[in-house]
Structure 1
Amino acid sequence: MAREYNGGCLCGNIRFVASGEARNPHTCSCKICQRHSGSLTQVWVEFDKKDVNWVGPGGIPKTWRSSDYSSRSFCDVCGSTLGAIDDDPMIALVLGTFDSPNRVALRPTSHSYVSKKPKWWHVNAEV
């Protein structure tokens, strides 16, 4: 049986069920992630687009085109960041939206754009 991961936005308008393999769980400190999340580091996990179902009353989240290959997604009611919907068959969801973010398969294993984080910001990926 495939694993399922549930989550959604702050107000509950946008909800998702992601199933299958959680891929590339990582943290990122690029300027786009910082501005989209309002934090210095964002935590991401990727799923095949076919394995993410939008089940809340708001349906599919709103998007904003952030690069030539991806759009950032968010709730148009509460403004919560939900992730990135890429042009290829991938959706990256932000870990803070998961109902149970402490699951082992969601633990970040790498960090992108380390050079963009403030020098005083320490990201520890060790258990």
Structure 2
Amino acid sequence: MNGECRMMPGMMSGGMGGMAGMMTGDHMEGRLAFLKTELHITDAQGKVWSAFADAVRAAAKGARTMHGSMMGTATATWPERLAQHEKMLSAHLDALKSIRAAAEPLYAALDAEQKKTADDLMAGPMMGSM
């Protein structure tokens, strides 16, 4: 990754587990603050920004809960592990849908320059998973 890349690895590139699932609360709040600053969110955009940030927080909380519930499953059988993985993927999909539902009105409220910045910062499969 070159020094000019503005995307912070881990949050966007690795799915919910990489993005929010393993993030501490402080780290996620820092990432959200960074995004808000970089996007130059205005007072008029505050409501849609807050909805987006809340969706990301909720997704991260769910991912951390899911990750915690899957710890210690080393003795699970193959079918049990498959079922656990299916449950995790389903939760990731639900989280992505929630984030997308909040991201769309936020994106619609951004001006052209903010959209370009968002497109650059939100690259990746989940935020592109924050």
TM-score bin, normalised by smaller chain: under 0.3
Q: Which is richer in strand?
A: 1
TM-score, reference length from structure 2: 0.22
TM-score, reference length from structure 1: 0.23
Is the radius of gyration larger for structure 1 or structure 2?
2
Q: Which has the higher contact order (CA 8 A, sep 6+)?
A: 2
Q: Which is richer in helix?
A: 2
